[in-house]
Amino acid sequence: MQTKLVILVLLSLGAAVAVAQSRKTLDIYVIDVEGGNAVLFVTPSGESMLIDSGNAGAGAVRDAERILAAAKDAGVTSIDHLITTHYHGDHIGGLAELSARISIKELIDHGPNTQPNPNTDAFLQGAYRELYSKTKHTVAKPGDKIPIAGVDWRVVTSATEVIKTPLQGKAAPNPYCGTFTPQTGVNLTEDDQSLGSFITFGKFRTIHLGDLTLNRQFDLMCPNNRLGTVDLLIAARHGNVNAEFLAHALRPRVIVTNNGTRKGAQPEAMKIFFSAPNLEDVWQLHFSQLGGQEYTVAGMFIANVVDEQQDTIPVAPFTPAPQGQQAPPPPEHDGKAVTNTRNGFSKTYRRPPASN
């Protein structure tokens, strides 16, 4: 049975990864869609925002059902807003199956597809267009505010553009920018187009950037940090490399990686996470064979373990196949998403009096 991470945010506290639910909290469900992406936010008023809808192909029904299970757990009977960060199959693939099972009141995206793909284009020009012809459709731009009661939801990246106005007072020089040189002459992909969100609830702040590339992360964070800091970093790119000028400059107390067993959370990514200056914990959706024991967290912080249990877990990282546009298909599971009952572990992060 697959498990997910549930993050409950109280105005008087920081973030708590736990199993209980209260309408006094902003509840964040990081849903296991096997290395795809689906994160459900539910405000104290019950208003819901889903970011991405999981995988295409054989995993579409599975992922739609897992999202529905999270929605049921949250007491959600319809999705008020749905952001598709970009049009790769592990982010939009489950939308047709999901929309057949639950009402979606608003579809939000970055605009036209910029990376032609026969299956994706057929869906966007057919079923997706039909969906938004029957409901609200918003093409979001950096700086836009998505109206959600009780939450300040700001779009900070979209269609390769980034926000220009500081969110938290004056922008400050980012000391981590000097270690990175942007790549030139590379073709833009849908990852570059990712629609990124910065969410504020009282004093709590979190960010979700889809699969934003390192070049676009650089545009967002350098030479000046216009975002400030966050309490929770929902790691971009499934827990693949998030640059120091992002992951360190934002100073998260907690990082969650929506990785799969062989996708994300590899050594070079985990080294950056573990060395973040303000970090208390990293939580993972899966044990990552790419990192092995050498670069993973304690088991109580991992929602799902390996696909086929071994007598011993190797210390050395697993060598992945050459990287292409999409990672190898994730292993198939038939379990439904449930609140993290694998070990029942929870932790509360209380805000220190002098914390920013």
- Is residue 350 assigned to a domain? no
Q: How many domains does the chain have?
A: 1
Is the omega angle on the peptide bond into residue 352 within 30 degrees of 0, that is, cis?
Answer: no
pLDDT at 351 over 90: no
What are 161's two structure tokens? 């553009």
Pairing of strands 39-42, 26-30: antiparallel
Within a domain: residue 351?
no
Asked, for residue 242, whether it belongs to a domain, the answer is yes
In a domain, 233, yes or no: yes
195, part of any domain: yes
Select the more confidently predicted residue: 334 or 44.
44
Residue pLDDT, tens place only, 36-69: 999 999 999 999 999 999 999 989 999 999 999 9
Place of tokens 């050395």: 316
Specify if 297 maps to a domain.
Answer: yes
Q: What is the mean pLDDT of residues 249-277?
A: 95
Is residue 289 a contact partner of residue 261, using CB atoms and an 8 Å limit? yes
Look up the CATH number of the domain holding residue 100. Answer: 3.60.15.10
Q: Is the pTM of this model over 0.85?
A: yes
Nearest partner of 346 among 16, 29, 10, judged by Cα: 16
pLDDT band (50, 70, 90) for residue 338: very low
User: How far is Cα 268 from Cα 242, in angstroms, rounded to an integer?
Assistant: 9
Q: How many CB atoms lie within 10 A of CB 34?
A: 25
37 and 191 in contact (C-beta within 8 Å)?
no
**Domain of 28?**
5-114+125-321+338-343
For all residues of the chain together, what is the average pLDDT? 86
Residue 355 belongs to some domain of the structure: no
74 located within any domain: yes
User: For the CA atoms of 219, 222, 223, 229, what is the dihedral angle to 10 degrees?
Assistant: 140
How far apart, in whole angstroms, are the C-alpha atoms of residue 191 and residue 241? 13
